[in-house]
Structure 1
Amino acid sequence: MRRNLLVLFMLFAVTYSLQAQKIPTATEIATKGVATMEKRLKLNSTQKNIIYNYTLELTKDQIALGKKQKTGAPIEDDYTKFIKKQNETSESIRNILKPEQQTEYDLYLEEQLRGGKKKKGKKSKDEEEEVVTGISGLILPKD
């Protein structure tokens, strides 16, 4: 009896945890991306709306491509089309930006390709971390 209750409890726990992992929608992804660009590029409202529309369409295509890939269907042609559309979208976004925003946008794209901005701990320029090597690094200090 205890074993059955334990199995039933584990089944409910696994089911609940799977439901808790929500996949973001295209709208949520596009909104987050445009919010990041708005802060970084200092977009005006017109630019923000146009970029949102471009980003939303691209995100919908990306999600559709991911779903198609999960089904096991061949996606080489679709992937090539997506990359082409992604490049066209980036170029369209660049065309509505001011020259100083374009350079920052290029940096933003490079950063996204590298995997996003890495958060670093705050350290002053003069402050260096003390590195202790050898066995002395393993000995605890005496109180």
Structure 2
Amino acid sequence: MKKFIFLFLTALTFAFVSNAQQSKTPLPAEVAQKNVDDLNKKLKLNETQKSVIFRFTFEQAKAQQELMKKQEKTGFDEGDVDKFYKMQNETSKNIRNVLKGDQQIAYDRIIEDRLSGVTEKGKKKKKGEEEEAPSDIKGLLSGPPMEKQN
């Protein structure tokens, strides 16, 4: 009886641990749905746009997951990373083509913000705080050279 209880508890522990590890990595469908929901909040997508964008982001998330699994097994391969970035750019281009007028402009801003690391929280200005410094190279340039005094 003790062996049975021990084996049962061991099996239960393994089941719990393997389930916990699986839940850490979101499924491609979950990633795609989160992306669609996020874009829908910001761009007011219609049902057709949601469906098409879901398909694009699902394929991208699936490729990303496959790349991660491959890297875990064989290690880092720069060629695969290049392929992924190309796919990411193609997905972004395809999504932009699905959008209309003002949605395209807003999507371009979303992409620029993501690339620069700006979040919605970072954009909002609280009372008493100064504006954020410009993020372009102009902020790094020094003033005009000082003239030598004789």
If the length of structure 2 is used for normalisation, what is the TM-score? Answer: 0.65
Partner of 1:20: 20
Extract unaligned runs of 5+ from structure 2: 1-11, 130-150
* % identical aligned pairs: 45
Matched position secondary structure for 1:119: helix
**8 Å contact kept, 1:68–1:75:** no
Of 85, 99, 102, the residue aligned with 1:100 is: 102
**8 Å contact kept, 1:30–1:52:** yes
Q: CA shift at 1:80, angstroms?
A: 1.2
Extract unaligned runs of 5+ from structure 1: 1-11, 130-143
Q: CA shift at 1:68, angstroms?
A: 0.9
Please give the residue correspondences for 1:2-13 in structure 2 after superposition, counting only pairs within 5 Å: none
Q: CA shift at 1:48, angstroms?
A: 0.7
How many residues align structurally?
116
Q: 1:106 to 1:66 in 2, by over 3 A?
A: same
Give a deviation string over 1:71-100, Cα, whole Å, max 9, x none: 134522221111111111111111111120
Q: CA shift at 1:119, angstroms?
A: 2.9
Of 30, 44, 55, the residue aligned with 1:53 is: 55
Partner of 1:5: none
* Separation in 2, partners of 1:64, 1:70: 10
**Deviating more after overlay: 69-78 vs 110-119:** 110-119
**8 Å contact kept, 1:30–1:56:** yes
2:89 matches 1:87: yes
**8 Å contact kept, 1:37–1:43:** yes
* Separation in 2, partners of 1:61, 1:91: 17
Q: 1:35 to 1:20 in 2, by over 3 A?
A: same
Aligned-residue RMSD, C-alpha: 3.0
Partner of 2:73: 71
Matched position secondary structure for 1:24: coil
Q: 1:79 to 1:124 in 2, by over 3 A?
A: closer
